[in-house]
Structure formats: C-alpha cells, structure tokens
Structure 1
Amino acid sequence: MNGRYMRAAEIRWHNRQPERLRHINQKKEKKKVSTVQIFDADLRFVNEIPMPNTLAGIQYADQLAAENPDRLYVVMDEHRQKAHQR
C-alpha cells in the first residue's frame, strides 16, 4: 500500500487473493495421487496409471497381476515412494 490510498493494482491483488489460494490448493491436491507403474519381464517401463489413493492402486495392481502375471506392478504413493510391488 502506498500511503493512505490503495492503487488499482493493489486493489486487484487483494480482491484476487481467494482465487490465488484456491488455485494453489487445487494444484497441491492434484499432485497427491498414487500411481501404478507397469514393467515388462525384463524390467522395461511400459505404462504409469494414476490412482486416487494408494489402496485403490494396490487393488488395481493385484487385479492386473492376476490377469498378466509375467509383468511387474509397482504402486507408488503420493510421496513417490514404493508402497507395494507385485
């Protein structure tokens, strides 16, 4: 703020504060997904599938392993650490 009165740019900045915070929080929430990584038998990367949470990723990896047991399925949690391997 410059002296007693706010300039137009400062007014816009303060008015858009809730929108900015909402955008930042949505971006953080979007990053918080676990993934199922699929590898071939010779450990070549095939695909990565995003999942809403780690438990859903583990269940999906188990389902895929029952269908195609010759591949390796690794579930990574939202912190990109290995949570399950099948």
Structure 2
Amino acid sequence: MRVADLAALPHWERSRVSRLGCPEDGRGAFVRIAETGQAAIERAAPGHARTVRRLVFDALTADEVVRLDEIFHRLRSRAGLSAD
C-alpha cells in the first residue's frame, strides 16, 4: 500500500506514516501488521463473516450469487488482479 493511501486511513497522520518509509527508496514503504493487530483481525473475522452473509448473501438467490461472482471475477480481471 502506498504511504499516501495508508495515511488516508482513519487514525493515521501523514507525519506518522512517513517515518515508515523505505530507507533505500523514498517512494516506497514497508508496512507490517503487529501481532496484536493480527489477533484483533482473527477475533473480528467470524463476526464480520456472519454479518456479510446476513446483509448480503442471505438476501440473494443462488442464481444471483452466481451472477455476483461472475461480475466480481470480471471486475478483478479488468483491474489486472488474479481471480483467485
């Protein structure tokens, strides 16, 4: 993620992010999630997945889910991202 994009996230100040820059190349940055952050993501993931299922997928028919999957694959392909 570019430093400017990271700095745009809530609770991040540009000056705080700029100190995380790559010393060999000022255009890049190294970002790593801390163990506490990873643990927080792992705790939140099951509830998040249940909420997404309830709000999105439970409202769709099986055919609509197939079409949505096709749309997402097409958009990812267009953006140059892998389909997996």
Common fold, TM-score beyond 0.5?
Answer: no
Q: Rg bigger for which structure?
A: 1
* TM-score normalized with structure 2 length: 0.28
TM-score (norm 1): 0.27
